[in-house]
Chain A
Amino acid sequence: MNPNPTGAPTPHETGTTASAKPRSRKGGRRTNASMIIGAALVVLIVGLALVSFVWTPYDPNSIDPVARLQSGSLAHPFGTDTFGRDTLTWVMVGARITLLVGVVAVGIALLIGTPIGIIAAFFAKQSWGMWIDAVIMRANDILLAFPALLLAIIFAAVYSPGTGPAMVAVGIAAIPGFARVARSGTLQVLGSDYVRAARASNRRVPAIALVHVLPNIAGMVIVQASVAFAISVLAEAGLSFLGLGTQAPTPSWGRMLQESQQYLSTHPELALWPGVFIALAVLGFNLLGDGLRDRFDPKMEARGA
């Protein structure tokens, strides 16, 4: 269910937003449709979560047996669930968990994966250090054999199921993606003449990493973060759907979807709202990633002249 656990670059939209020959394109920062729509969706989800801290239509845990399983109405725009809880309120509060898991998981992966990738690339460039790079990348490949969902299930089995282990597991599973992106980006930068020039003028390794490597790979890492965020939204929803993620009574989109299953024949709209919001969140981060890639892709880099 995770579209891109490797962190292999997702194909980017050449057709809809840019002309066919990105290489011939002159520089200049472009904003494009993917990025605008993606950013808007992300802002919507983040907005829902933020608003939920100060205001929700109802108390998320207030049970109203009279108002059970209602369809959409003025009082309950998205309807109510089997306990009479307001679905809109649950969607709003559920956004928090989705974003929390995303932020923590991506944070773990980015902070561990990126330095690993950069370090591996520096070793790969030394004849005496190539084996260190090889070992790091092998370990990376082995970790890749554990997709996010599988690792999260293992964590749920060993520890108790919950949001915490889920975040950590999804984060660990996303490390290889960041390490690969950072490594290939760093190798590219280290192979460039401007780094040779920097070395020839006695710049030390930390300075080269900070001044040349980081700014030049930042774009790729941000794109990867956006893609990894989408993956962790999916993973959290899937885990909670299995009952191995966020536990009751904390609202979570995945669990809402699971609970809707027994009423599918009578109240299919119960599945509609959490489903729509999961899809919107994933779509938002994927589009944002695509849009950012269009801006940062080295192929798009202006060749001046």
Chain B
Amino acid sequence: MPENLLDVRDLTITPAGADAPVLHDVSLSLAPGERVGLIGESGSGKSLTAQSVMGLLPEELHARGQVHLQGHSGNLLDATEKTLAGLRSDIVSMVFQEPMSALNPLMRIGDQIAEVLRIHGKVPRGQIPTRVRELLHDVHLPDPDSARFAYPHQMSGGQRQRVMLAIALANSPRLLICDEPTTALDVTVQKHMLDLIAERVAAVEAGLLFITHDLAVVAGVCDRVIVMYRGRIVETGSVDEIFTAPRHDYTRGLLASSDLEATDDRGRLFTLKTALAYSGPQVQGAEPGSATGEWENSGGEEDAPAPTRGGSISTSVEQSTADDVSAASARESTPLIEASDVTRVFRGRGLFGRRRSDVTALGGIDFTVAAGARLGIVGESGSGKSTLLGILSGLDRPTSGHVRVGDIRVEAASSQALRRLRENLQIVFQDPFASLDPRMRIADIVAEPLIAAGVDGDERTTRVEEMIEAVDLDSDSLRRYPHQFSGGQRQRISIARALVTRPQILVADEPVSALDVSVRAQVLNLLTDLVDEYALTLLFVSHDLGVVKHLCSDVIVMRDGQIVESGATEDIYANPQEEYTRRLIAATPSLAEALAAG
């Protein structure tokens, strides 16, 4: 092998004032032009590793070890800021995760690209405007000529990330580091961005260090994979080796829990604990739609009666409540939820200011949900799915149209009727860190819906304790505060709060999209268990088609406030009728496809 492009040896990072390092003896290397994926969950140290290479480590962290880069003699960890600045963007470049804040909001896009050319002086001054236009063209921005004069806030996240890539590759560096470059983007945008990164890296013949938590993404982009866990490298190997024959337990667990198409014998997703039974991703033909056979299998299991879990709470009570609103026999004929021609228009605001144009968040939505159904609502950002949830849960009213939930007409409901609606419908939110009041104890958080419902004294205490047990937390948790829990645990608490009043309908708004993959599987399994146990009707909003495919019996695909397509999940996935749905499905990264393609 020729001289390595990047050599990291025994890199150890310790926060100032702390004894324990957050990164332990990390060693890795990249050959020129090689594309390597660095995989890990939050806290694995993957971003710190990249920042050390860039010399962008926060000041309060101390790094020891060796970092060598082709084109620079000596250890980068000992280099001065001035030396490092000379290397950055010239030899090694970086694209960051958050496109919305990575560009200077006060400066035009063209000037920000021109700056990186000017700093390193490789392009003669007079040619800079031409080169800027070329770079914008290379990252496939529509209308590169006017894009130069735009400010960052006038661009979408995906466009800004393209600009970031243009900046990073402007001086044709030998190494490009991408730190979760597509995590903040919509799926279809992510697909284009990944293709673009691969294309441009090949064009300038640079090496690529691609940091991500998403195994499927790595499989599509990289040749080799490094897996990190709690500040250490646990496994290295080619994409094939890692994904088909993982040696380390953690790698296997990660692989198993990110595979949403594989389930254990109870029909549940694999977790770190049950990963031993996982047999690896099922590689099918390159045809994305051909997953039907396997899907029908697991779909059958979804409908099977729920396995009873330790007999914690009897389900018969819940069944009879459900029957109050719609008799079990009438399930097919009278849907539990019915929406027809629902619109929601947000008016431009301002008392003194100029009247802004109205925004149509929902433009005529029709759908029904049968009692006991699990409806997935899929859509990218701005599709109107959150607005729809707000209306269904009685927090917002439609501008026009009819919504019926049970026997309540939402658009015309009295405040009393709305209260009744909310008693029967509870929500689990996306961000586990924002959905629990930081100043309340867990006991009070879970008890809050019961207080509103007028349940007092011992009964309240008992039900809170039962519920916290039902979400697999111990009763000690009740005395603690939210900040003492991890993201996954907080989502369990949210679920406990939502179910403590025993609602008929559970609305979950992207409940797992902020969680690590291994935690995601656990929370999804818990959700499945509880939905079965309490005979809930589930409305599950997500941008992730894989999750919806695993969890839901029916699906609605939304875009720009409209329903693009709806129906039984298996039909939609196997046989999408609309172009947009097809694109969405094709863009969703899947391990199996990535392996088959690679």
Contact = CB atoms under 8 A, between A and B. Distances in A.
Interface of A: 19-21, 27, 127, 130-131, 134-135, 192-194, 196-204, 207, 211-212, 215-216, 301-305
Contact of A197 (B349, B435, B451, B485): B435
Contacts of B349: 130
B437 A302 contact: no
Binding site secondary structure of chain B: loop
Nearest to A27: B483
5 closest Cβ pairs, A-B complex = A201-B449, A193-B435, A302-B483, A193-B429, A134-B351
Given A127-B347, A194-B435, A202 B423 contact: yes
Interface stretch (B170-178, B329-337, B460-468, B486-494): B486-494
B498 to A, nearest CB: 8
Interface of B: 16, 42-43, 58-60, 347, 349, 351-352, 393-395, 419, 422-423, 425-427, 429-431, 433-440, 445, 448-449, 451-453, 482-487, 490, 494, 497-498, 501
Contacts of A192: 434-435, 437
Given A202-B419, A203-B448, A216-B437, A301 B58 contact: no
Contacts of A204: 452
A305 B42 contact: yes
B168 to A, nearest CB: 24
B393 A200 contact: yes
A199 B438 CA distance: 17
Contacts of B494: 197
A201 B501 contact: yes
B60 A200 contact: no
Contact of B351 (A131, A201, A302, A305): A131
A19 B437 contact: no
Contacts of A302: 438, 483
B429 A196 contact: yes
A257 B436 CA distance: 53
A46 B285 CA distance: 80
21 contacts: A19-B60, A21-B58, A27-B483, A193-B430, A198-B448, A200-B393, A201-B449, A202-B422, A202-B452, A211-B440, A212-B437, A212-B440, A215-B437, A301-B438, A304-B483, A304-B484, A304-B486, A304-B490, A305-B42, A305-B43, A305-B433
A298 to B, nearest CB: 9
Given A193-B429, A194-B434, A200 B422 contact: yes
A202 B483 contact: no
A198 B60 CA distance: 39
A194 B437 contact: yes
Nearest to B422: A202
A219 B58 CA distance: 29
Contacts of B498: 197
Contacts of B448: 197-198, 201, 203, 211
A131 B494 CA distance: 34
Nearest to A134: B351
A193 B58 contact: no
Contacts of B351: 130-131, 134-135
B486 A305 contact: yes
Contacts of A127: 347
A77 B471 CA distance: 69
A180 to B, nearest CB: 18
A20 B431 CA distance: 25
Given A134-B352, A193-B435, A305-B487, 9 more contacts: A19-B16, A194-B436, A199-B395, A202-B423, A212-B440, A215-B439, A303-B433, A304-B433, A304-B485
Contacts of A199: 395, 422
Residue among A193, A197, A201 with the highest chain B CB neighbour number at 10 A: A201
A303 B437 contact: no
Contacts of A304: 433, 482-487, 490
A287 to B, nearest CB: 24
B181 to A, nearest CB: 22
B277 to A, nearest CB: 29
Nearest to B498: A197
Contacts of A301: 438, 483
A131 to B, nearest CB: 5
A212 B448 CA distance: 11
Residue among A19, A135, A197 with the highest chain B CB neighbour number at 10 A: A197
Contacts of A19: 16, 60
A77 B43 CA distance: 61
A131 B349 CA distance: 10
B59 A20 contact: yes
A194 B393 CA distance: 15
A21 B60 contact: yes
B58 A200 contact: no
A20 B483 contact: no
Contacts of B439: 215-216
A106 to B, nearest CB: 23
A123 to B, nearest CB: 12
B434 A200 contact: no
Residue among B347, B483, B484, B501 with the highest chain A CB neighbour number at 10 A: B483
